[in-house]
Amino acid sequence: MAELAIGIDIGGTKVAGGVVDATGHILTRARRSTPHRSTSPQVVEDTIVECVDELLAGVEGHRVVAVGVGAAGFVGADRGTVVFAPHLSWRNEPLRERLQARVAAPVTIDNDANAALWAEARFGAALGESHVVMITLGTGIGGALLVDGRINRGRHGIAGEFGHMQVVPAGLRCECGNRGCWEQYASGNALVREARDLIAADSPVISDLRARLGADDGALTGPFITEAAQAGDPTARELLADVGEWLGVGLANLASALDPGRFVVGGGVSAAGELLLAPARDAFRRQLPGRGYRPEAQIVLAQLGAEAGLIGAADLARTGG
């Protein structure tokens, strides 16, 4: 049980932690609900420390060499400051410094998408490829970049915010303040918004999905639409195909800029599997500049699921990646 590290993955709704060995295997887990976004940074910090203490107690007698935290937000180049977190109350928060005062092992902070990509590169779908772009499709779109086998964080530490590339000039308004961002067309929010628009228009094409939904409009979520599509609902499949096409358009843009060998697609929406990726690959091939005369990046599903973030955070802290 040498070379153990703790990984903490902080999302908008949960704090998930685990003790991870050098092979990426999780030995023990802890989980807490994420304090509401209006709470103080201190409350979130307390929640993280609670998870770390519980995990340390679970491997008492064994040495934990590092603690890695993956945060859903902009993490500065110092890998210690959370510059901005849209779903939490962190604004230029010196999180590593505050945690280090309360945790015995060395602490490292990173963006959650960077952590997920590192896990996939070390133990999952990106294994063996040196140039990788990871896209995480959830409420919005997150991303991360591997270049020559190392995470590329950019000059200021916040590279990979691919969801805010503009793909439609003067398009839909995005929470970031701009219009036409990629995540407004290829995310879980986009999937649900399109379904709601069809229901509001009383479109007959959505009658089967509406019947499946029943009277509870609150049940209309990305996972609900994905489950309906997997059960054969034609409109749910069409909605996923639309999101997949927009995904492919964005990936073609990224291929032009970054020329990766592989795209790894994770996040909650990726649970749709080939219902999402097949139309994405088709759109990617149609939009790719120089198509037919250049190598094409693979587009594959992430393998490590919801635990990629904590595995990667632990391994980054342990290896210094």
Q: Do domains 4-121+307-319 and 128-302 have the same CATH topology?
A: yes
pLDDT tens-digit readout, 233-259: 999 999 999 999 999 999 999 999 999
Range in 31-35, 149-153, 185-189 with the lowest mean pLDDT: 31-35
pLDDT (0 to 100) of residue 41:
82
Enumerate residues 6+ apart whose C-beta is below 8 A from 133: 143, 144, 145, 146, 162, 251, 254, 258, 260, 262, 263, 264, 297
d(CA 141, CA 253): 15
**List of long-range contacts for 129-133, beta carbons under 8 Å, 24+ apart:** 129/260, 129/261, 129/262, 130/261, 131/258, 131/259, 131/260, 131/261, 131/262, 132/260, 132/261, 132/262, 132/263, 132/264, 133/162, 133/251, 133/254, 133/258, 133/260, 133/262, 133/263, 133/264, 133/297
In which order are the strands placed within the sheet that holds 91-93?
Answer: 74-75, 82-84, 91-93
pLDDT tens per residue, range 82-133: 998 876 778 999 999 999 999 989 999 999 999 999 999 999 999 999 999 9
pLDDT, mean of residues 179-189: 95
% the chain with pLDDT above 70: 97
| Domain residue extents for the chain | 4-121+307-319, 128-302
Query: Do residues 140 and 172 touch, judged by C-beta distance below 8 A?
Result: no
Q: Is the pLDDT of residue 35 over 70?
A: no
Which pLDDT value is given to residue 116?
A: 96
* pLDDT of 38 strictly over 60: no
**Average pLDDT estimate for 28-36:** 83
Helix axes 222-230, 188-200, angle to 10 degrees: 80
CATH superfamily, domain 4-121+307-319, is ATPase, nucleotide binding domain (3.30.420.40)
Q: Compute the distance between CA of residue 90 and CA of residue 313 in angstroms, rounded to an integer.
A: 19
**What is the gyration radius of the CA atoms in the chain, in angstroms?**
20
Is 287 a residue whose pLDDT tops 60?
Answer: yes
Q: Under CATH, which number does the domain 128-302 receive?
A: 3.30.420.40
